[in-house]
Amino acid sequence: MSLSSLPLSYCTNVHPGLTAAQVERGLTEFTVPAGQRFGSPLAAGLWLAQPVIRELLAEADGARRFAARLEKLGLCTYTLNAFPFGDFHSERVKENVYLPDWTQLSRLEYSWDCACVLAELIRATLPAEPDGSLSTVPLGFKTLATTPDFEANCIRNLIDFAQRLARLKSESGQTIRLAIEPEPCCVLETTAETISFFRRLRDRAASEHALEAVERHLGVCYDVCHQSVEFEDVAESIASLAREEIRINKVHITCALQVTNPGTNADAREALAHFVEPRYLHQTFARSPSGDVRRILDLTTELARTPPVDFALADCWRIHFHVPVDAERIGPLETTRADLKKAMDAVTKLAYAPHLEVETYTWNVLPGGDKPDLVTGLARELSATRELLAGR
């Protein structure tokens, strides 16, 4: 199977946007110029926070007028990032990005509103009206998912959502698929956990005569660097999802940071200390020579400079810090770009073409005064991704 024939997408969660005007400003100032430098058709993988979605739906033709402005800018949209619900650019996001979780009706209703808006954007900006996708939280964050009925409530809401999407398909002809995004330290983080959950979800759906809707409309967003940080074999991970017939509705093209032989690599650890920042969560994993994997919830200066014994003796660290996907190295630090290449090879073996989106949301918190401006950086990422895909 060839990769998607749709234009490559990049996620606009890198731009602040809590009003429709702010979203449009980001598209005008960054997306359009990056697309011009990229020199190929470009899709906007929109992040529309809950306040923006409500603004667009407050008037009967709000979504249609927004779609017309997208079309005027020469942009199309087939996927939304419906993961961050609120302000993704506040001073401290961290674990709050996973709220509300899938036990809460506010998450269900926000996702449904996103689906309705996306259906309108697809109709207005893409002639063939392809399937749409919504990426979303991996149910919730493990340390916050403490109620005994957490999973059961998530499953109830997900089945409800799948049935709504099935009705949307029946009434409008537009297919929208949810893409649940496994992430380190979340309720769904490993491929094994994801497969196990989907088995339970399908069992419950079958008992409620909703299996067809769940199988058609619910799948995963495969963020490559997330599974790399877990030290998973990304090719086998993707193959195992295919064997279970769990559809990868969206692929986030991403790279994380890596430190090899950290105990003796003082230069890399010192460089890593400069990536400590207060906004986003940077889960840090260490693999021992025997293959055991340990984790620390967030990267700290103390961890980088004076790691505990088990981290100091590890043969490799991987850190959930999205870095430019064109970079093999950042100074003395490595990236997981080798895994990105393996993952894209594995995606070509699927019997369908997932949506493809570059998602480096951390440009504004990357350290160093020599980093390129955002338009240049995005254009480099997109061009490198085009070259990577062309080699598949």
pLDDT for position 338? 98
Instruction: Indicate the pLDDT class of residue 391, thresholds 50, 70 and 90.
Output: confident
User: Contact at 8 Å (CB) between 375 and 35?
Assistant: no
Print burial letters for 280-314: b (CB count within 10 Å at least 16), e (below 16).
bbbbbbbbeeeeeeebbbbbeeebbeebeeebeeb
- Specify the CATH number of the domain 8-255+334-390: 3.20.20.150
Contacts of 195 (CB under 8 A, 6+ apart): 240, 241, 244, 246
- Per the rule left: phi > 0, alpha: psi between -120 and 50, beta: everything else, 293 is beta
pTM over 0.85: yes
Instruction: Indicate the pLDDT class of residue 235, thresholds 50, 70 and 90.
Output: very high
pLDDT for position 323? 98
**pLDDT tens readout for residues 81-125:** 999 999 999 999 999 999 999 999 999 999 999 999 999 999 999
Q: Which residue, among 83, 128, 79, has the nearest Cα to 354 in the 3D structure?
A: 79
**pLDDT of 32 over the 60 cut:** yes
Instruction: Indicate the pLDDT class of residue 56, thresholds 50, 70 and 90.
Output: very high
Provide mean pLDDT across the span 20-34. 97
Give the 3-state secondary structure of residue 320.
strand
Provide mean pLDDT across the span 309-334. 97
Domain boundaries, the chain: 8-255+334-390
CB atoms within 10 A of CB 235: 16
Rounded to 5 degrees, φ, ψ at 308 are: -65, 165
pLDDT for position 368? 86
Provide mean pLDDT across the span 259-287. 98
pLDDT for position 2? 61
Residue 132, strand partner residues = 176
pLDDT for position 369? 79
Average pLDDT along the chain? 97
**pLDDT of 152 over the 90 cut:** yes
Nearest-angstrom CA–CA distance, 182 and 193: 9
Provide mean pLDDT across the span 37-47. 96
**pLDDT of 1 over the 70 cut:** no
**pLDDT of 359 over the 80 cut:** yes
Tokens linked to 73: 């800018």
Nearest-angstrom CA–CA distance, 10 and 43: 7
Q: Which residue, among 188, 53, 67, has the nearest Cα to 107 in the 3D structure?
A: 53
The DSSP annotation for 109-121 comes to: HHHHHHHHHHHHH
pLDDT for position 223? 98
Provide mean pLDDT across the span 32-59. 97
Provide mean pLDDT across the span 315-339. 98
Question: Which uninterrupted H or E stretch holds 310?
Answer: helix 309-312
Contacts of 119 (CB under 8 A, 6+ apart): 132, 168, 172, 174, 176
Give the 3-state secondary structure of residue 26.
helix
CA distances from 12 to 44, 80, 164, 211, 241 (A): 7, 9, 26, 33, 27
Contacts of 265 (CB under 8 A, 6+ apart): 259, 332
Nearest-angstrom CA–CA distance, 6 and 372: 28
Provide mean pLDDT across the span 162-170. 98
Provide mean pLDDT across the span 260-282. 98
Q: Which residue, among 278, 280, 277, 268, has the nearest Cα to 318 in the 3D structure?
A: 268
Instruction: Indicate the pLDDT class of residue 336, thresholds 50, 70 and 90.
Output: very high
